[in-house]
Amino acid sequence: MAIPESLKSGLTLPVIAAPMFLVSGPDLVVECCNAGVIGTFPSLNQRTTEGYREWLLEIKARRKPGAAAFGVNHIVHPTNPRLMADMMVSVEEKVPLIITSLGAVRDVVDAVHGYGGVVFHDIANIRHARKAAEAGVDGLILVAGGAGGHAGVIHPFALVEEVRSFFSGTIILSGCISTGRDVAATRALGADFAYMGTRFIATTESAAQSEYKQMIVDAGATDVTYTPAVSGIPANFLTKSLVANGIDPKSLPEHKLDMGEEARAWKTVWSAGHGSGAIHDVIPTADLVARLQTEYRQAVAGFAEEPWRAG
Ligand X SMILES: Cc1cc2nc3c(=O)[nH]c(=O)nc-3n(C[C@H](O)[C@H](O)[C@H](O)COP(=O)(O)O)c2cc1C
Q: Report whether 3 contacts 68 (CB < 8 A).
A: no
CA-based nearest residue to 289, from 17, 4, 3, 7: 17
Q: Is beta strand 224-227 parallel, antiparallel or unpaired with respect to 235-238?
A: antiparallel
Q: Identify which range of 49-57, 159-167, 267-275, 278-286 contacts ligand X by CB under 6 A.
A: 267-275
User: In the range 118-157, which residues lie near ligand X by CB under 6 A?
Assistant: 122, 143, 147-149
Among 33, 177, 215, 265, binds ligand X (CB under 6 A): 177
Tell me the closest approach of the beta carbon of residue 230 to ligand X, in angstroms: 11
Q: Residue 206: in which H helix or E strand, if any?
A: none
Residue 42 binds ligand X, judged by CB under 6 A: yes
23 lines the binding site for ligand X (CB under 6 A): yes
Task: List CB contacts of 50: < 8 A, sequence separation 6 or more.
Answer: none
In sequence order, which residues have a C-beta less than 8 Å from that of residue 19 and are 6 or more positions away? Answer: 40, 41, 42, 71, 72, 73, 99
**Is the separation of the CB atoms in 186 and 171 below 8 Å?**
no
Does 203 sit near ligand X (CB under 6 A)? no
In the complex, least distance from residue 204 CB atom to ligand X, rounded to whole angstroms? 17
Q: How far is the CB of 144 from ligand X (least distance, A)?
A: 8
C-beta of 169 vs 175, nearer to ligand X: 175
Candidates 11, 13, 20, 140: give the one binding ligand X (CB under 6 A): 20
Binding site for ligand X (CB under 6 A): 18-21, 23, 42, 73, 99, 101, 122, 143, 147-149, 174-177, 195-198, 271-273, 275
